[in-house]
Amino acid sequence: MCVHRRLFTMTKKKSSSTIQALFDLCADTFTQSSASPPSPNAIHKLSSLLDSIGPADVGLSDPSKEDDRGHGPFGFSSFNRVDRWAQPITYVDVHEGENFTMCIFCFPTSSVIPLHDHPGMTVLSKVLYGSLHVKGYDWVDPPRIRKPVGNDNSSVRLAKLAVDKVLTAPCSTSVLYPSSGGNLHSFTAITPCAVLDILAPPYDEFAGRRCSYYRDYPCSTLSKEDEKSDVEKEEEYAWLSEIDTPDDLYMRSGTYTGPPIHK
């Protein structure tokens, strides 16, 4: 009897936190490292649970008590003036596994994660606090690739604008898929903000899921005259050119301080 009571107590403790419930649901949903998105019902369940998560559920302090560098929740307090102007983004690894990754990005005001992709991945993003501008594209299918005039080394590929809006907490969870929802996107912090991300499957260079960065050009600037009739609204399209990882992308690791997750 005592053994059963102890097991019940351990199980109750294991599932007592919302972040634990989220981890358990992810583990049940993402059972293999597959590029195929989960069912709409599974995405709905994950999104609904993510919608209920706030800063305190992952160990973040009240953002009104943080400084404008976005480091308050993770104990970074000894920064000099150079660090302050560098405006680093804090990356916190909550869980990194074979089938999915859970992580937090903590942004100071005006910091940017440039346009990048999530090849073959489904990503759920929840803004925990603050305001974040999201701009995202999806590749046009079939692919349209061309070399700009006078450029012999690089090519550009046509993409359609999928999202261009500001998300302010509290707000619903955003979801992107391998080929829709804004798989190539950028983040710009309007205010200090934090985002909880679930990536499934995770980045894996050996599996062909390498993170690439891009620069976008208005459709009209690189389109040929005979291509303009193929695009109904040029403002909804852009040519994307792959670039090296930007030198000014400054991230540093933080420590997860939320409720423990039992895996």
pLDDT of the residue at 63: 62
Distance between terminal CA atoms of the chain? 26
The DSSP output letter for 120 is T
Q: Give this prediction's pTM.
A: 0.82
> Is there a contact between 128 and 194 (Cβ–Cβ < 8 Å)?
yes
Residue 109: pLDDT band (50, 70, 90) is very high
The pLDDT tens digits for 55-72 are: 999 999 756 555 444 444
Domains, the chain, with CATH or none: 21-254 (2.60.120.10)
Tell me if residue 116 falls in helix, strand or coil.
strand
Q: Would the pLDDT of 205 be above 60?
A: yes
pLDDT of the residue at 69: 44
The pLDDT tens digits for 89-104 are: 999 999 999 999 999 9
Tell me if residue 74 falls in helix, strand or coil.
helix
How is residue 122 written in tokens?
């489904």
> Is there a contact between 115 and 215 (Cβ–Cβ < 8 Å)?
yes
> Is there a contact between 140 and 160 (Cβ–Cβ < 8 Å)?
yes
> Is there a contact between 38 and 30 (Cβ–Cβ < 8 Å)?
yes
Contacts of 209 (CB under 8 A, 6+ apart): 118, 119, 120, 121, 201, 202, 203
Listed in order, strand segments (DSSP E) in 98-220 are 101-107, 112-116, 122-129, 131-139, 145-146, 156-168, 174-176, 184-189, 193-200, 213-218
Question: Residue 101 CB: number of other CB atoms within 10 A?
Answer: 21
Contacts of 234 (CB under 8 A, 6+ apart): 218, 219, 220, 223, 228
